Structure 1
Amino acid sequence: MRLSKYLLPVLREDSGDAQIVSHRLMLRAGLVRQAAAGIYSWLPLGYRVLAKIERIVREEQDRAGAIQILMPTIQPSDLWRESGRYDAYGPEMLRITDRHDRELLYGPTCEELVTSLVRGSINSYRDLPLNLYHIQWKFRDEIRPRFGVMRGREFLMKDAYSFDIDQEAARRSYNRMYVAYLRTFARMGLRAIPAQADPGPIGGDMSHEFVILASSGESDVFYHRHWEEGVADAIPDFSDDDTIDRFVSEQTHYYAATDEMRDDTREAELGDDLRTARGIEVGHIFYFGDKYSGSMGLKAQGSDGGVFVPQMGSYGIGVSRLVGAVIEACHDENGIVWPEAIAPFRVGIITVRAGHPECDAAAETLYARLGEAGVDVLYDDRDERGGAKFATMDLIGLPWQVIIGPKGIEKGVVELKNRATGEREELPVDDVIARFTK
């Protein structure tokens, strides 16, 4: 993509309304613009990041055996009355009435809707296990929607729902999602800590909140130093459930808890192994048994001819929230520092002197050949001074910058800069192309 043809409305100054780093940088780097309080339009650069995060989430859900569907954003209130949550959920749920005076709501989550769907679709234990997920916009009417996409009113969420014949099978489904979440965040270049958490209004007796560490995090996390080590290297695939169960059992042995679930006794036992940090929730998984299937009359015929109530779990990842959370964890004084897997573009090309024939020719060669090889490239071909181009490229945080200047071209080299480390090296154009296409 040529920057001269792209919509990238960067700002020189921070917005006075932005209170946290991710909100300030998302506005300055032209990722989003506010449409209304807590509701955002995603501009091209931000949407590319959102799409890459969504793709990774989808791929790991598919690998875990979950099946993608799409449920509506608007739900009938009668389903929530069946479960008893309609009045209990609180003012965060946006309640609306259509022209026929039917009560509807803009879904904040989908336990009731998916339970109703499965209730009309299965009859027997042979239809289970079943795990359905979708990636859909949700709405929660926050009283003071601040902090950009970290706590907006409208947000993109992946939510999955498992249905199993008994508690043992349901916990096995839970473990598969536990592993899927660790794999998902590791692929994004993030270290996620699964901390024991309060299930809140979702309910249930087992819940883990997946937290990434950031100095500007919203809550305190207490954890064993084990989580600072290479846990991602040991995450299993989904070929064997027994291996998954052993892995989860081993990991949950290591203490990690959010503030409301602290265990002073265990923390005292950890001694020097105890760590405390600020963290940001990016995912949450719940096992809640028959809380919804029981109250909503979901039943199936068992192998013995009797009737049983399926056991359920639900599993959420804040896809749009992750964009802000990653920025909170991955930035410096100059702007965003994207992990390579979710960066909007992998490589940015800068010509120091616009209009210099040899520099322009080298940039065009790089741009064409990298693009032909399937590498995501942003070429800053604007008629701007070099300093402005450097500032823009650092602000938007692409992992690699190729800097082309007259002195380097005279020597037959260009400069390759690593955005995360600041390290630079000089390479011939062909070697740069080989670096990103091998």
Structure 2
Amino acid sequence: MPSFYGWDKLEVLRIHGCHLKEIHWQMFNGLTNLKYLSLERNAIKELPSFAFSGALHLKSISLAQNALVRLHYLSLAGLLDLEILDLSDNQLSRLSEQCFPPLPKLLKADLRNNPIKHIFPATFWVMNSTRELKMGSEMEALDLRTWNIYGQFDSLFQLKTLSLSNVSTEAMEQGLFKGLYGLEILTLRGSIISIQYDAFAGMEKLRDIDISHCMIRELSMDAFIGAKKLQLLNLSHNCLSYFPPGLLDEQLQLHEVQLQGNQLTSLSYSFFYLPRLRVVRLDQNPWHCTCQMSNWTPRITNVMRGPIAENCRNDISGNPNSCRIVTTYKINKNIVPRCANFNGRSVYYVLRKQLHCGSMEFLHHSFQKRIESKTFPYWLKLELQGHEKRNSRSRLQTYKSIHHQHPKSIVPGLKQYMQKTTQMPQLSEISNEI
């Protein structure tokens, strides 16, 4: 057994790839100022009680790529200053309240690539300050579930980032993430058949949700209620064939939605009216193209998020001032959504060249504003709102039929406006490549 007596000023110690099989409880005696300890790529199978009692001021411990098969709370006892714990690439198969001692300052815990199948209640009750937790392994699927009234991540009130790979659950339901009130970023991979009502209830700070490659088939229309600050939603590469109308009505800060690689054939007309929507990935879906898709625009669907850039304003002397970090976007013609019912042609080519939907979206806002600004009778507003969504070729015909039935109800100037809109030139044509 190595001895470190007399090394009281040592702060960093790494013992990598040395075939170290066991640790004695007195091994680190004398290392009173040790802050960072790494024992990666060894053959350690078990940690004795009070394994690090000689270095109680450790801030970081890495036991990655060893052969640990179990973890007892006495093994890490006394490490009240520990901030980072790396137990990745070991053989841990379950977690319970017997695994961790009080770790009041722990910020990051990495448990990836351990064949953990079950997380029992109270496992993380002594890790109240943890900000980041990563778990999941290809060797064993993590059973994601609730235990009666308890969640698997209770008491992680300060957690900001949760990453779980190879999870398995029939339904992501209410209570699954109970207690994660401060969570901002959630990443899941694995097998999740459906996302149920109130699955994210109480998670008001949630900003990014990435549940791609999870084989999701069903979304409840109230699945995201409570996540009002959501900015990024990634549901790509699942098995979705239906996207409920109004699903994202509360997500007014949503910037990016990724739905590529599903089985979607249509979206509700109101989907593109989210006020801050900047990117919507819709490629690799068998879209059934109709004129109801006239409010789709290439500036939203044909772009990808680029690198983060710094945007500064210069003062009078030309020096950078008032700088802020912004997200850049770039056009990518390879991600254009395509029509399954028109031999895979671009959605925008089909709308303008084959369905002849015209420039309906251009007219929508101005025409709707004109309708709302006039004191039309209610019946006429309904007629005009329904008429506005139809093909532009029928505008004049609809006006004539309304005027013939109610000639005295038409507000002066409507006739000239209708004639003007039917003669307006179409928007610039977009080629099949875009």
Q: Same fold (TM over 0.5)?
A: no
Q: TM-score, normalised by structure 1?
A: 0.23
Tell me which protein shows more helix as a share of its residues. Answer: 1
Structure of larger gyration radius: 2
Tell me which protein shows more strand as a share of its residues. Answer: 1
Q: TM-score, normalised by structure 2?
A: 0.23
The structure, 1 or 2, with the larger RCO (C-alpha pairs under 8 Å, 6+ apart) is 1
